[in-house]
Amino acid sequence: MRKLKSDRGIQGLIPAIVSIVFFFLIFIFFDLRVAFTALGILILFYSLAFGFWSFYKTGNYYMLVSAFYLLSLGGVMLFIKVPETLNSPAPEFPEEFKVILVFFYLMLFWLIYGFITKKFNYRGREVLELAAWDVEEGPESYTERPRPAGVVDYSKYDIIDFTNYLKRIMIGMTYQEENRVLIVPIKYGHEWGALYNPNFNYLERTWIAFDFDGQVSVHISRKDYLDYKEDLAFDHLCESMGKLFITFADFYMRGDKVRILDRLNSVKLGLFS
């Protein structure tokens, strides 16, 4: 049984909605050729803002697939030969355009594969579900104070490598401080602040901190706590979250990284979650 409320947000669809509205506005005020050109320029901007920038922030190589898909799609929009009006005859396509089209289809199939296998999805909802699976309703009230959640016996550089891996597989963003690293689980469709807001306050979010002396602590934000359907036992929830990430660390250090993804995939959320 799902512990989280359903997420019906459309944040992830905003770029597509903007593109469609933008295309039809240009078409109404100018013509079809100008509309396709303007849309191509917008999509090329998306490839930089969403694809390459996301790769820079996360280190996830599948973000490059998204970036090159958007580049090829933008190229198709720019170089396609379209009639000035809907009633004009269709023009001939040059050989160069066919090369761009082949590259576009290759990236499209790769993109679909990555989407189906959740290579692009932020996995924060799976993390919150896994942490709450064995947690029942309880009398403890919510508190903003971080809670101790266990101890690990790994070096500073092991912890940094491990948390960077969690970032690459889209569990969340990582923030290194002087004496610790924090992992902030990011839900799919809610990544915009972490990616683009220079004043993003990660300490107000849900985080799991690995101190370089081995201490593990957990902070669950009020927003994420209220996203659960029930008032769960808060101490138990924090303890469970800490144990989950300690288990992830153990998997990583043993060389069983695939087990982390197995645990996430066991939640079986939809592709848009």
Angle between helices 234-254 and 124-132 in degrees, nearest 10: 120
Q: What percent of the chain stands above pLDDT 70?
A: 91
Residue owning tokens 């101490």: 235
Listed residue (233, 242, 270, 140) closest to 185, CA to CA: 242
Tabulate helix, strand, coil % of the chain (nearest 5).
55, 10, 35
Q: What angle do CA 39, 45, 51 make, to 5 degrees?
A: 120
Phi and psi for 257 in degrees, rounded to 5?
Answer: -60, -30
- For residue 219, the one-letter residue type is H
What's the pLDDT score for residue 89?
59
Is 207 in contact with 149 (CB distance < 8 Å)? no
- Give the mean pLDDT of 25-37: 88
Left (φ > 0), alpha (ψ -120 to 50) or beta: where does 120 sit?
Answer: alpha
pLDDT per position as a tens digit, 133-179:
988 888 777 888 899 999 999 999 999 999 999 999 999 999 999 99
What's the pLDDT score for residue 10?
66
What's the pLDDT score for residue 90?
59
pTM of the model: 0.87
Pairing of strands 215-219, 147-151: antiparallel
What's the pLDDT score for residue 33?
84
Q: Rounded to whole angstroms, how far apart are CA atoms 49 and 70?
A: 11
- DSSP bridge pairs for 137: 232
Band (204; pLDDT cuts 50, 70, 90) = very high
Is 55 in contact with 195 (CB distance < 8 Å)? no
Phi and psi for 209 in degrees, rounded to 5?
Answer: -110, 130
Phi and psi for 8 in degrees, rounded to 5?
Answer: -110, 25
- When the pLDDT of each residue in the chain is averaged and rounded to a whole number, the result is 89
Band (13; pLDDT cuts 50, 70, 90) = confident
Q: How far is CA 107 from the centre of its chain?
A: 19
